[in-house]
Structure 1
Amino acid sequence: MSFRCFALLSGALLVACHANQESPHGAGQETAHEVRDAEATCPPIALSASLEDVIRAVVSNMASKAGADSGAYVVPSPSVRDAFAAALVSTLSGDTHKACSLPASYRSFSLHDGPEDILLVAELDSSGHPAPQSFWGTYASRRSAPGTRALIVEAPHPLFDTNTPYESRAVFSEARAEWFLMAGAHRCANEGSAGCDGTTTACGGGSAPYRESDTAHATTSPFFAIHAELSKSTDAPFLQLHGNAQSCPDALISDASGSYSDAGVTARLAAAIEARGPSVGRCGLDFPKSGCSLCGTDNVEARMTAGSSQACTEKGTQYGRLVHLEQRPSLRQIPDGGTRGYQPVVDAVISTFPPR
């Protein structure tokens, strides 16, 4: 007998297993031995949908249920956050035992993406339709193989930064990147403060502290913990995609340190984007300046990967592994006919990050 297993975050049992066939004790009447079966595995469910279709469905559902001031985002305790991050990274690395300890609303799936099958962990029902409860995000991985890129693509503001979920998916798929991370709610979904450095006008009403639902500025988020797991367990660089409406060039690029270096992946990507036509501003060189100041120096994922043990309030010391890319609306448009949209960014990523 095989089981669909999941963690109960607030109950007495650590693991609950749903039989895929009728239990001899009746439906829903699993024995204690079955419930605590340490040998249970939870293989991924095969989906026929494309990753693009999944992301569109998830974002549409998110917009209706986890938008600004919705209060939908569930803030986990540190222990639950870390357990979820560890289980998710293990699951996306192919561990079907660890998949059994994902929260009840999360399932693992396999689907085709270009020449490879990929793994997906998301709040979907068994048929692949959005069924969110916690709004902790959607995550995917591609097994390392010749032609793939050791690259982690992140979309921390999927509703606020218009089209970045679709751009991130395009980069992941077309560049054959190995990891995809997308947050699960609007950055302004909850009113509670993240308690981290910095303020923003993103949520209206003037400048205010970052909110707990803002995954680029909250270390309490599962998104941050997953980033931290990957930062420690891999040496892959990160590309975090953002959008802005400030008076900036088409792209404003940085490594979130506040300084600029001609060496490293940030400089190479800046040159590659510029070579394809969009204008590019470089933080630490000519930016920040009045009217264009979004350089990511209080970004908690960048701080963590740069070596900070207190990313909420302290900067790191070893920057260069994370590229923070701010983009004007025109550079975030979905390519359509004569509109290039974000295609120059996708092409620049392919030329900048070498394949295996």
Structure 2
Amino acid sequence: MISRPRMLLSVAGMAVALALVLTMVLVLGDEESPKPGSPAPEAGLDSLVTKFTSALSADQEYRSPKSDERRTAAAGFAALLDRRSTADLAELGFSVRDGVDPATGRPYTIVVNEPGTERAWGMYVVDRSAPPSLVVEVPHPAFDLRTELFGVDLFRRVPGAVLLVAGAHRKADDSKADVAHEEDSVFHVVATTLAGRGLAQVQLHGFHDQNLPSTDVVLSSGATVAGDAARRAADRLTADGLAVCRAWEERCKGLEGMTNVQGKMAAAGGTVFLHVEMSRTVRESPERRANVVRALVEADLTEP
């Protein structure tokens, strides 16, 4: 027969054990579940851009900004770059916030147009880890498929880069949303503001494989004269096994970007502009995407 004192000790021991188990469950639960009111984890920049571009379509609302709105946009983005007031951007319907990209740990400021309205004027991201360096442009998201992913990858590889993503499908509003060929756009205003500070631009496009079956990438300087930066990029792409059509040496079946308005603006201001057309096969391959981005980084486009 078990004595009463021993029974009391046994019951007490079980109570202590149960208390320890309950404590461990509560502690582990605290570690695995966010506390009420805690901020959500920061989304990766690629997720933010993909979500933004997935909402674009040829029949979406869009209107070109008026002249006074373009002036306001120019003033607003200049202020943003200099870390001054963003009131002008708010007036145009843009939201502005700071974040940190989990993939790089680098801080950025992101500017996004008013959703679901005709003021579909773009997404703009400024890497705050270094002074502004390279302008990475995606003028035809949701049309030149996957170019936004190239844009994010290149942006992440260049400290101080500024990413420009058009806010509408290029066919919207009877193609008036084609910012690569329309000067009356906020996209062009932002590109002009950045080029006015001497920054080089690289603009990303895509073409169907059948247009140039033996070519992976078409490189050109648009209306500008091809300089050392363009030649370095071509050489590095070739070294990575990509077939490159150099528009300054040969004809590339209308993919030279000669009518591109950002290229014309760069030519007038004497700044670097690189027009990059990639085949569908290249854009669909993560390995080739990595090769293209690496080649562009190694070409050091910030140097003329």
1:166, distance to aligned residue in structure 2 (A): 1.2
1:231 is aligned to 195
2:198 aligned partner, one-letter code? D
So what's the TM-score if we normalise by structure 1?
A: 0.67
2:148 is aligned to 165
Structure 1 residues 253, 172: closer, same or farther in 2, change over 3 A?
same
1:333 is aligned to 284
Are residue 98 (structure 1) and residue 86 (structure 2) matched?
yes
Instruction: Provide the C-alpha distance between the structure 2 equivalents of 1:123 and 1:149, rounded to a whole number of angstroms.
Output: 21
1:89, distance to aligned residue in structure 2 (A): 3.7
Question: Where does 1:293-308 land on structure 2 (aligned, <5 Å)?
Answer: 293-307=254-268
1:200 is aligned to none
How many residues are matched? 260
SS of the residue corresponding to residue 108 of structure 2 reads strand
Structure 1 residues 182, 46: closer, same or farther in 2, change over 3 A?
farther
1:149, distance to aligned residue in structure 2 (A): 7.5
Query: Highest Rg: 1 or 2?
Result: 2
Q: Retained in 2: the 8 A contact 1:84–1:102? A: no
Are residue 49 (structure 1) and residue 43 (structure 2) matched?
yes
Structure 1 residues 351, 101: closer, same or farther in 2, change over 3 A?
closer
1:176 is aligned to 159
Q: Retained in 1: the 8 A contact 2:128–2:160? A: no
So what's the TM-score if we normalise by structure 2?
A: 0.78
Are residue 322 (structure 1) and residue 269 (structure 2) matched?
no
1:240 is aligned to 203
1:93, distance to aligned residue in structure 2 (A): 3.6
Structure 1 residues 300, 110: closer, same or farther in 2, change over 3 A?
same
Q: Which runs of 5+ in 2 are unaligned?
A: 1-38
Question: Where does 1:76-225 land on structure 2 (aligned, <5 Å)?
Answer: 76-95=65-84, 97-99=85-87, 101-103=89-91, 105-113=93-101, 114-123=104-113, 133-143=118-128, 145=130, 150-191=133-174, 211-225=175-189
1:341 aligned partner, one-letter code? R
Instruction: Provide the C-alpha distance between the structure 1 equivalents of 2:190 and 2:132, rounded to a whole number of angstroms.
Output: 19
Structure 1 residues 99, 52: closer, same or farther in 2, change over 3 A?
farther
1:205 is aligned to none
SS of the residue corresponding to residue 161 of structure 2 reads strand
2:298 aligned partner, one-letter code? S
Instruction: Provide the C-alpha distance between the structure 2 equivalents of 1:83 and 1:136, rounded to a whole number of angstroms.
Output: 13
1:350, distance to aligned residue in structure 2 (A): 1.9
SS of the residue corresponding to residue 109 of structure 2 reads strand
Q: Retained in 1: the 8 A contact 2:134–2:302? A: no
2:223 is aligned to 257
1:121 aligned partner, one-letter code? V
1:14 is aligned to none
Q: Retained in 2: the 8 A contact 1:144–1:178? A: no
SS of the residue corresponding to residue 173 of structure 2 reads coil
Q: Retained in 2: the 8 A contact 1:142–1:178? A: yes
Deviates more, 1:166-175 or 1:298-307: 166-175
1:235, distance to aligned residue in structure 2 (A): 1.5
Q: Retained in 2: the 8 A contact 1:86–1:226? A: no
The C-alpha deviation readout for 1:287-334, integer Å capped at 9, x for no partner, is 23xxx22101100001011117xxxxxxxxx4x600001110111125
Instruction: Provide the C-alpha distance between the structure 1 equivalents of 2:261 and 2:40, rounded to a whole number of angstroms.
Output: 34
SS of the residue corresponding to residue 243 of structure 1 reads strand
1:284, distance to aligned residue in structure 2 (A): 2.4
- The alignment-based identity, stated in percent, is 27
1:98, distance to aligned residue in structure 2 (A): 2.9
Structure with greater helix share of residues: 2
Q: Which runs of 5+ in 1 are unaligned?
A: 1-44, 125-129, 192-210, 309-317
Question: Where does 1:68-83 land on structure 2 (aligned, <5 Å)?
Answer: 68=58, 70-83=59-72
2:28 is aligned to none
1:85 aligned partner, one-letter code? A
Q: Retained in 2: the 8 A contact 1:51–1:111? A: no
